[in-house]
C-alpha cells in the first residue's frame, strides 16, 4: 500500500534562511509524488509534482523538490524563505487515490 | 475558472441531524474526491469518483456516510445521523487526470454539537 511519512511535525526557520522539508514514501511502483501547501482556513494548493524524468522538479513560489529513489525520498526545498511561506506543507503519493502525509507546519521568524 | 466550489463553508448542527455537503468540480475534470481533515487523523480519503462512478469508498468511516455524484458537475456527501466525532473540515478535490495533481476546494468546516 502506498504511504507517505513526513518526519517533522513543526519547523521554524528565520526569514531569508534556506528550507528543507522531508518526505519519505512507500510505493510499489514508480511513484507519483506531490507537494501541497495549505494556508490557514484554505484548501490545499499544488506546489509541484513528479512522475518521471528529471529528478529535480521546480514548482511555484520558488520551491523545488528532488526525487531520490534510493532513499525513497522527495524532499522540498527553498533557498530563501519569505514570511508568506508560513503554512502547512503536505507531501502526497499516488494518482488515482492520493494519500497524504501528516503535514509539516512551517513557522517563519522575522 | 471558479475552481472547485464547496458549500456551505461552515456548518454547525446538532447531533442526530442530517448534514449534506456539496461540491461542484471544475468543468472537464473527470475525477472527484472527498477528503476529511482532522488534527488527529490528518487528511483521509473518504471516497472518489471517476466519470461520476464511485470507484473506492473504503475510506468512508461508517454507513452513516454516503456520497453521490448524479452528474459531472455536482457531488454530495451526506452524514445521517451526524455525531460530534464527525466534526472536521471536509474537502472536495477534482482532477482531469491524477498525475496532474488535484485542485482542492476551500472546504466545509463541520461542527456537530
- The string of pLDDT tens digits covering residues B57-72 is 999 988 999 999 999 9
Instruction: Identify the bridge partners of residue A26 per DSSP, sorted by sequence position.
Output: A3
Q: What is the CA radius of gyration of chain A?
A: 13
pLDDT digits (tens, 9 = 90+) for A48-70: 999 888 899 999 999 999 999 99
Residues B35/B36/B38/B40 CA torsion (nearest 10 deg): -80
Q: Which residues of A touch B58 (CB under 8 A)?
A: none
For the cut 80, the answer to whether the pLDDT of residue A28 exceeds it is no
Over residues B19-33, the pLDDT tens digits come to: 999 999 999 999 999
User: Residues, chain A, total?
Assistant: 110
Q: What is the DSSP letter of B25?
A: P
* Closest by Cβ to A102, choosing from B42, B105, B107: B42
How far A56 CA sits from the closest chain B CA (Å)? 17
Q: What is the mean pLDDT of chain A?
A: 93
Q: Which residues of A touch B105 (CB under 8 A)?
A: 43
Is pLDDT above 70 for B1?
no
pLDDT at A27: 81
Judged by CB atoms closer than 8 Å, whether chains meet at B50 and A96 is answered as yes
Q: A91: pLDDT confidence band, cut at 50, 70 and 90? A: very high
Give the C-alpha separation, B62 to A61, whole Å: 39
Contact of A59 with chain B, judged by CB distance below 8 Å, is answered with no
For B30-48, write each residue's pLDDT tens digit: 999 999 999 999 999 999 9
Query: CB-hemisphere CA count at 13 Å for A62?
Result: 11
Amino acid at each position: 500500500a502506498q504511504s507517505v511519512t513526513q518526519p517533522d511535525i513543526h519547523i521554524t526557520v528565520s526569514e531569508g534562511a534556506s528550507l528543507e522539508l522531508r518526505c519519505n514514501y512507500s510505493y510499489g511502483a514508480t511513484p507519483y509524488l506531490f507537494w501541497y501547501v495549505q494556508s490557514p482556513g484554505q484548501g490545499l494548493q499544488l506546489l509541484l509534482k513528479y512522475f518521471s524524468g528529471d529528478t529535480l522538479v521546480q514548482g511555484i513560489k520558488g520551491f523545488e523538490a528532488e526525487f531520490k529513489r534510493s532513499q525513497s525520498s522527495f524532499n522540498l526545498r527553498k533557498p530563501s524563505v519569505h514570511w508568506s511561506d508560513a503554512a502547512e506543507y503536505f507531501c502526497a503519493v499516488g494518482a488515482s487515490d492520493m494519500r497524504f502525509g501528516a503535514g509539516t507546519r512551517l513557522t517563519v521568524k522575522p | 475558472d471558479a475552481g472547485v466550489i464547496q458549500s456551505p463553508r461552515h456548518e454547525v448542527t446538532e447531533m442526530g441531524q442530517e448534514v449534506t455537503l456539496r461540491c461542484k468540480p471544475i468543468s472537464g475534470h473527470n475525477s472527484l474526491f472527498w477528503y476529511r481533515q482532522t488534527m488527529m487523523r490528518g487528511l483521509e480519503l473518504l471516497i472518489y469518483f471517476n466519470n461520476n462512478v464511485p470507484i473506492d469508498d473504503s475510506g468512508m468511516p461508517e454507513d452513516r456516510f454516503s456520497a453521490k455524484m448524479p452528474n459531472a458537475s455536482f457531488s454530495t456527501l451526506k452524514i445521517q445521523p451526524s455525531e460530534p466525532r464527525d466534526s472536521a473540515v471536509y474537502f472536495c478535490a477534482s482532477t482531469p487526470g491524477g498525475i496532474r495533481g488535484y485542485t482542492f476546494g476551500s472546504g466545509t468546516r463541520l461542527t456537530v454539537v
